Structure 1
Amino acid sequence: MGAAVFYHLTRRPVEVALPQLLEKARGAGWRIVVRGTDPGRMDWLDEKLWLGPEEGFLPHGVAGGAHDADQPILLTVGAGPAANDPACLMTLDGAEVTPEEVQALERVCILFDGLDEEALQRARAQWKALTAAGCSAQYWSEESGRWEKKAER
């Protein structure tokens, strides 16, 4: 059974924090699906990942292509099983996560903008829903300048 890990972004934007987390997940040997809520934002993220530093290139694709099942990292706005058979789900912008997904995957990472009150409220609601359903959860903050675990249930 996996765990939900909440990442409270206060110092780095998602386009900086996400690649670092993706590298760690890839280092664990996992396939990853990144779920957002807006197709335009996922296209923007796709571009950011392609334009990253050459030594930090993250092989990925946007869902809907002919090779979705082959992608180590798949960007999507769709819920449910991903074509690339991921071990890890990373969500952005308040994308939905079910307790069943947390329990079925190795890790679910929920990234949220700590400077956006709506995003904070959404993350709190997700924390309550997932922990009430019996899922393990951790809360990490970068407020001090580095990631620190602040809570665990």
Structure 2
Amino acid sequence: MGAAFFYHLTRRPLAETLMMLASKSRANGWTVVVRGQDMAQMQALDVALWRGPDDGFLPHGLAGGPHDADQPILLTTSAAAPNAPDCLMSVGGAEITAEEVAAHERVCILFDGNDEAALEGARAQWRVLKDAGASAQYWSEESGSWEKKAET
């Protein structure tokens, strides 16, 4: 059974944090799906991932192409995950179910702590997953480095 890791972004931009987490996931040998709600946001993340982290390229693709099932990192606005991901990442408030947490090695929920609506959405998501019995951790970068602040 997996766990949901909530990442409260207050210092680093979404793209930078996503690259860090995607790099770590790939280092574990995991395939990743990044689920959002807004195609424009997914396209912006696509551009950021093409630039990649300072130390390398992150192979990925936007959903809707002929090779979605082969993508090590797939960006999508759909609940479908044809690349059979080990890690599911939620951005832009995309909903995650307790069943999805159980079905993946890791679920990462990234949210903008400077956006009150995003903060409230993450709190609601935490309660839903906690009430369903899913394992969850809350990580904050408020101190300048990532620290685990809570766990269910």
Interval of TM-score (by shorter of Structure 1 and Structure 2) = over 0.9
TM norm structure 2: 0.97
Matched letter for residue 59 of structure 1: P
Change (3 A) 1:57 1:151: same
- Give the structure 2 partner of residue 74 of structure 1: 74
State the secondary structure of the residue aligned to 1:151: strand
- Give the structure 2 partner of residue 117 of structure 1: 116
Matched letter for residue 101 of structure 1: E
Distance 2:11 2:56 in 1: 20
Aligned length: 152
State the secondary structure of the residue aligned to 1:143: coil
Which structure 1 residue ranges, 5 or more long, are not aligned?
none
Q: How does 1:65-104 map to 2 (within 5 A)?
A: 65-80=65-80, 82-104=81-103
The answer (yes or no) to whether the contact 1:36–1:42 under 8 Å persists in 2 is yes
Cα deviation for residue 52 of structure 1 reads: 3.0
Which structure 2 residue ranges, 5 or more long, are not aligned?
none
Distance 1:142 1:61 in 2: 28
- Give the structure 2 partner of residue 132 of structure 1: 131
* % same residue: 66
Cα deviation for residue 44 of structure 1 reads: 1.1
Q: How does 1:4-153 map to 2 (within 5 A)?
A: 4-53=4-53, 55-80=55-80, 82-153=81-152
Change (3 A) 1:54 1:17: closer
TM norm structure 1: 0.97
The answer (yes or no) to whether the contact 1:9–1:111 under 8 Å persists in 2 is yes
Cα deviation for residue 54 of structure 1 reads: 6.4
